[in-house]
Amino acid sequence: MSLAPARGAAGAPVAAGEICLLINPLSCRTLYGSLAKRAREMAEAAGLEVVVTGDPQQILALLRRLHERRASQLFVLSGDGTIQIISDYLVQLPPGEWNPALLLLGGGRANVVPRAHGGDPALPALRAALKALREGRALTPETQTLLRVEQEGAAPRHGFVLAGSVADFGIRECRAYRASGTGWWYRGLLADPWCVLMLVARTMLGLAPVPPSPQLDVTLDTGERMVARVRVLMAATLVRAGGHYNPYAERGTGPLRVTAVAADAQRFWRNLPRVLSGRYDYDKMNTLQGYLSGRCHTVQIRGLSGYSLDGEPVDVDPQRPLRLTTGMDLNVLRP
């Protein structure tokens, strides 16, 4: 489902006073340093309205206010979690009601979505957008389809990147570590790499073994299927990986990208660089060898008890199939 953009085409030139910049001061990169302060000064000097809040209720109140006036553009300096709040709000609106163009600036820890749309690093991207405003130029409009996750008995969830198996375990461990303390060492940019390093060391010493890979049945609408203990499970709707890895093969068609690698996949460690970069050798990396990756429209997963959606852990019933498909299209601006 694609909603019409508010007031004309996404990315069309608008007056600076009609645009709001939302800054989440609790996001990782805005929590320390001068990023939030410099972004606010730049935006206010250009005539933008600036709202600084990390409270989900206040963010929703802002969205309702912008909705009432049919604001055509919203700039967001935050992490992926705030973007998910905005997406959830837009998904619940009637079709065609309101779908503003979003400039997504990386203020969080991973910044997966902003990076995929040119919004990271944040300050150069914001500077470029403000320059375009001054010159009366339109920003480049792009479409970002949401990932929709459904299971019988639960409300659908929407996001961008789903991680299961070992990746989900690692994400949960990192969240627990960050919640165990305060200060930069626990909340700063190096918190997750440090946690992963400690986890690897403990695993190698036998002090904290990684849970066994879950027995899954992963079926794509293309007919490809993997029934195995799955070590790696990833799914996304991002057109560009936008990060340091791109674990999806450029194979097949459809907006949904998925990768599943069996625990007993042949030559796993040798092929890991190919998996991370999406450079699959189909003669040696197919379902018979324990690798499933490509594009599709729908995925059904049986046996999964939990996953992380944009870094947020979700527990599900492993006895009921999980269905991955696509949701509405967001309007995104590339600076």
* pLDDT in the model for residue 49: 94
Note whether 312 and 232 are within 8 A (CB): no
Q: Considering the domain boundaries, does residue 320 fall inside one?
A: no
Q: Do 141 and 218 have their domain in common?
A: no
- What gap in Å lies between CA 168 and CA 156, rounded to an integer? 19
Domain span at 42: 16-145
Note whether 274 and 249 are within 8 A (CB): no
Phi/psi of residue 158, each to 5°? -130, 140
Q: Considering the domain boundaries, does residue 174 fall inside one?
A: no
Note whether 117 and 75 are within 8 A (CB): no
Q: Considering the domain boundaries, does residue 300 fall inside one?
A: yes
Q: Considering the domain boundaries, does residue 204 fall inside one?
A: no
Q: Look over the chain and give the mean of its residue pLDDT values, rounded to a whole number.
A: 88
Average pLDDT for residues 121-144, to the nearest whole number?
Answer: 94
Q: Do 25 and 141 have their domain in common?
A: yes
Average pLDDT for residues 98-125, to the nearest whole number?
Answer: 91
Note whether 248 and 257 are within 8 A (CB): yes
- Asked if omega into 5 is within 30° of 0 (cis), the reply is no
Written as one string, the DSSP assignment of 227-279 is: EEEEEEEEEE--SS--SS---S-S-B-SSEEEEEEETT-TTHHHHHHHHHHT-
Q: Considering the domain boundaries, does residue 203 fall inside one?
A: no
Residue 214 in this model has a pLDDT that exceeds 70? yes
Q: Of 145, 178, 202, which closes a domain?
A: 145
Which of 324 and 312 is assigned the larger pLDDT? 324
Average pLDDT for residues 220-234, to the nearest whole number?
Answer: 95
Cβ count near 44 (within 10 Å): 12
| Total number of domains constituting the chain | 2
Q: Do 129 and 219 have their domain in common?
A: no
Extract the runs of DSSP E, i.e. beta strands, from the chain: 20-23, 49-52, 73-78, 101-106, 140-150, 157-159, 161-164, 215-220, 225-236, 256-262, 291-296, 299-302, 306-309, 312-315, 322-334
Q: Considering the domain boundaries, does residue 191 fall inside one?
A: no
Q: Do 139 and 217 have their domain in common?
A: no
- What gap in Å lies between CA 117 and CA 141, rounded to an integer? 10
Residue 216 in this model has a pLDDT that exceeds 80? yes
Average pLDDT for residues 86-110, to the nearest whole number?
Answer: 92
Q: Considering the domain boundaries, does residue 180 fall inside one?
A: no
The pair of three-digit structure tokens given for residue 30, joined into one six-digit string: 């805005």
Closest CA to 213 of 165, 171, 167: 165
Q: Considering the domain boundaries, does residue 70 fall inside one?
A: yes
Count of alpha carbons within 13 angstroms of residue 326, beta-carbon side = 21
Q: pLDDT of 19-54, one tens digit each?
A: 999 999 988 788 777 899 999 999 999 999 999 999
The model's confidence at residue 10, banded by pLDDT at 50, 70 and 90, is low
Among 190-194, 255-259, 283-287, which range has the highest average pLDDT? 255-259
* pLDDT in the model for residue 5: 36
* pLDDT in the model for residue 282: 86
Average pLDDT for residues 129-152, to the nearest whole number?
Answer: 94
